[in-house]
């Protein structure tokens, strides 16, 4: 199958490489000429501009966008849509909020263009093992793109989960669960690190990968990190978030669904970015005032 692909970051480059290996015709564009050359070295066809990319595709065209969420994705979708023809399809494979998918799909429908959202999980490891794809959109364009999804995903690794926005909605929940799992592992391993036993944490993480009910790919990654740096001394306890955990909490509030585990995990990430918390200073100040007051009262007695 033929596809246009915009965005050749770490994931994007691996995705076009995987597509090319399966003999798809892949026309690529990125703002970096060096990345375009790198993609060409694995067999992709480079484009000098968005217009050039669209011009090298035959209708009905399919263009996959894999750029940072927010303004970069918004601008790219609008720019590509202005170049496409009725019956063509835009696929957003980034981390877009599902509300934006619904809005964009409505705008593109006025131009008789299809919009498909593909929540993509797998990171830089996807080149080798494939990507889990959570796909949202109308049935016809999704069916048309089946060869692309089949190549990118491992066996049984993609599904059409619902209408427009459903793919990114499911990916949002997926990321929230990921935050919670990581927080659970982090707390458990910190307790073991501070136990009275001299525990080999890498060995335990690897042990749990064999038959334990808590085994997972995240645990496998943790085991690898602990083998390289048993006390994690080369890492800083500073954890970013993609924004999807925030979106999930907002949606949970709107639907009156309690998500305390995710909320704690996200707030712990916020705290990791503070060298000194104002709230903790306030607590210390209040404690100090009360302690001095008790001492003064005892002296009066």
Among 33, 152, 155, smallest CA distance to 91 is for 152
Q: Tens of pLDDT along 145-168? A: 999 999 999 999 999 999 999 999
Q: Is 281 a catalytic residue?
A: no
Q: Tens of pLDDT along 8-30? A: 999 999 999 999 999 999 999 99
Q: Is the pLDDT of residue 194 over 70?
A: yes
Beta strands 158-162 and 25-29: pairing type?
unpaired
CA distances to 148, 176, 194 from 5, rounded to whole Å, are 11, 28, 48
176-209 core/surface letters (b: 16 or more CB in 10 A; e: else) = bbbbbbbbebbeebeeeeeeeeeeebbebbbebb
Choice among 74, 139, 171, 244 that is catalytic: 171
What per-residue confidence (pLDDT) applies to 243?
Answer: 86
Give the mean model confidence (pLDDT) for residues 29-33: 98
Please give the mean pLDDT across all residues of the chain: 94
What per-residue confidence (pLDDT) applies to 37?
Answer: 98
What per-residue confidence (pLDDT) applies to 282?
Answer: 85
CATH value of 2-163 in 3.40.50.300, 3.40.50.720, 3.40.50.620, 3.40.1080.10 = 3.40.50.720
DSSP annotation of 61: P
**Residue listed under structure tokens 């050039």:** 52
Choice among 178, 187, 198, 281 that is catalytic: 178
Q: Is the pLDDT of residue 241 over 90?
A: no
Concatenating the DSSP letter of every residue in 96-160 gives --HHHHHHHHHHHHTTT-EEEEEEEE-GGGHHHH--EEEEES-HHHHHHTHHHHHHHS-TT-EEE
Q: Tens of pLDDT along 205-230? A: 999 999 999 999 999 999 999 999 99
CATH value of 171-272 in 3.40.50.1820, 1.10.1040.10, 1.10.3720.10, 3.40.50.720 = 1.10.1040.10
Q: Is 198 a catalytic residue?
A: no
Give the mean model confidence (pLDDT) for residues 168-187: 96
**Domain range annotation of the chain:** 2-163, 171-272
């Amino acid at each position: 199958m033929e596809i246009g692909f915009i965005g050749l970051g770490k994931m994007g480059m691996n995705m076009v490489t995987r597509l090319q290996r399966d003999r798809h015709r892949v026309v690529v564009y990125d703002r970096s000429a060096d990345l375009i050359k790198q993609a060409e070295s694995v067999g992709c066809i480079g484009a000098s501009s968005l217009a050039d990319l669209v011009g090298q595709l035959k209708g009905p065209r399919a263009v996959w966008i894999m750029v940072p969420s927010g303004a970069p994705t918004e601008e790219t979708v609008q720019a590509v849509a202005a170049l496409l023809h009725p019956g063509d399809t835009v696929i957003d494979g980034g981390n877009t909020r599902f509300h934006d998918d619904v809005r964009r799909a409505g705008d593109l429908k006025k131009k008789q263009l299809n919009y498909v959202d593909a929540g993509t999980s797998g990171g830089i490891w996807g080149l080798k093992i494939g990507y889990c794809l959570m796909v949202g959109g109308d049935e016809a364009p999704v069916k048309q793109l089946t060869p692309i999804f089949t190549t990118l995903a491992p066996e049984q690794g993609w599904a059409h989960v619902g209408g427009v926005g459903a793919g990114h909605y499911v990916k949002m929940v997926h990321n929230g669960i990921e935050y919670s799992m990581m927080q659970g592992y982090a707390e458990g391993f910190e307790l073991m690190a501070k136990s009275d036993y001299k525990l080999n944490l890498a060995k335990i993480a690897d042990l749990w990968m064999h038959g334990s009910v808590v085994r997972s790919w995240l645990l496998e990654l943790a085991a690898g990190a602990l083998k390289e740096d048993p006390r994690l001394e080369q890492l800083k306890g500073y954890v970013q978030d993609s924004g999807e955990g925030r979106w999930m909490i907002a949606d949970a509030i709107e639907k009156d669904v309690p998500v305390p585990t995710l909320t704690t995990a996200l707030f712990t990430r916020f705290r990791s970015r503070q060298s000194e918390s104002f709230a903790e200073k306030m607590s210390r100040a209040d404690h100090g005032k009360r302690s001095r007051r008790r001492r003064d009262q005892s002296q009066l007695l």
